Amino acid sequence: MEHPDLSDEVLRRRRYWRRVLTLTAILLALWFVVGFVATYFARDLSFDFFGWPFSFWVGAQGALFVFIAIVAIYERAMRRLDRRYGFEEPEDA
């Protein structure tokens, strides 16, 4: 709900911060699912994947790929949010 007595700048910052928190919560939930839930249930995945048990691959390799993807998604989304709300940092030449 928007308050008529707040300035546009304050409202813009609140919207920005709300989106940052939402993005962070979603990515942390994904991290939790991959880091704890998927690896916990990976023992039940009993088939070979590239010559290794799939449970080993999920724990040793798959989670790392997802964690790197989470960082890349966060970087791109934050860059887009910064540009959209005018918080972009100047580029160093």
3-state secondary structure 17-31: HHHHHHHHHHHHHHH
Q: In the structure encoding, which two tokens stand for residue 44, read together?
A: 């039940």
Q: Using one digit for the tens of pLDDT, what is the confidence trace for 33-49? A: 888 887 777 777 777 77
For residue 54, what pLDDT is reported? Answer: 75
Residue 27 pLDDT > 90: yes
Contact indicator for 34, 67 with CB cutoff of 8 Å: yes
Contact indicator for 27, 36 with CB cutoff of 8 Å: no
For residue 32, what pLDDT is reported? Answer: 92
